């Protein structure tokens, strides 16, 4: 059974079309769909790709890893050559039954944030997307904002750990999360989904406000551009 977040993301991809831009640097909608299918059920391609990206040039000096990355390239190439509608339907149909993510509870936990963010990668990269337009807001399904907040609590402490100032994430008239505790601090204010986008690197598209001492905000802004 396809989860609502997966189905919604598949719909967004089909509506955008294979050549549509995304917020993921270097990826159009087709490349994003390839990534999603590989992540779902091709560990033979996903794991080598992740290791290769982390090791950079050093990966070329490790023969086993180099061959694994070459295999990953071949897998991705075959997927990339599929008709876009078939590629998206592979993603929509869900992960293979033998994977833990085939269980609805596991999928919701593992992919809820991932699918929301990639959906916004498609929506907010569209030409003419205007954050000030009320029509630009996307209504979340019941319980989705709460699930995103739970995921954000674990993510924030990891992604902001390099900040030289304290970092507090705040929802207007809602909860706050101390991501980094230091004497000088910056408060990042926005709805939960906007804080998620900021934390996952979509800072130019996230509708948030930074507040705090001017020098602290400047220091924080410089760090987050490098994350």
Are 161 and 227 in contact by the 8 Å Cβ rule? The answer is no
Q: Which residues pair with 188 in a beta bridge?
A: 169, 210
User: CATH code for 144-224?
Assistant: 3.30.1050.20
Which sequence spans correspond to the domains of the chain?
4-130, 144-224
Instruction: Tell me the angle at which helices 29-41 and 43-55 cross, rounded to the nearest 10 degrees.
Output: 110
Are 92 and 6 in contact by the 8 Å Cβ rule? The answer is yes
pLDDT in tens, the chain (227 residues): 468 899 999 999 999 999 999 999 899 999 999 999 988 775 554 544 554 455 455 445 555 555 555 556 667 778 889 999 999 999 999 887 766 666 666 677 778 899 999 999 999 999 888 877 767 778 898 999 999 999 999 899 999 988 999 999 999 999 999 999 999 999 999 999 999 999 999 988 999 999 999 999 998 886 664 44
Sheet holding 185-189, edge to edge: 176-180, 166-170, 185-189, 209-211
- For 175, the token pair is 């909860």
């Amino acid at each position: 059974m396809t989860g609502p977040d997966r189905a919604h993301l598949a719909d967004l991809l089909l509506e955008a079309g294979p050549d549509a831009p995304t917020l993921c640097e270097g990826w159009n909608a087709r490349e994003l769909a390839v990534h999603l299918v590989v992540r779902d059920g091709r560990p033979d391609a996903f794991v080598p790709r992740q290791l290769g990206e982390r090791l950079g040039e050093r990966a070329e000096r490790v023969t086993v890893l180099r061959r694994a990355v070459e295999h990953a390239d071949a897998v991705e190439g075959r997927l990339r050559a599929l008709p876009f509608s078939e590629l998206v339907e592979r993603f929509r149909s869900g992960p293979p039954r033998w994977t833990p993510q085939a269980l609805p509870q596991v999928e919701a936990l593992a992919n809820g944030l991932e699918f929301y963010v990639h959906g916004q990668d498609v929506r907010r990269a569209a030409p003419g997307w205007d954050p000030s337009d009320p029509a630009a807001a996307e209504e979340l399904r019941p319980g989705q904002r709460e699930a995103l907040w739970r995921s954000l609590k674990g993510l924030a402490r990891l992604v902001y750990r390099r900040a030289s100032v304290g970092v507090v994430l705040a929802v207007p008239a809602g909860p706050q999360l101390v991501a980094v505790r230091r004497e000088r601090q910056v408060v990042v204010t926005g709805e939960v989904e906007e804080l998620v986008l900021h934390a996952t690197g979509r800072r130019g598209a996230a509708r948030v406000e930074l507040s705090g001492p001017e020098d602290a905000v400047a220091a924080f802004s410089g760090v987050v551009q490098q994350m």
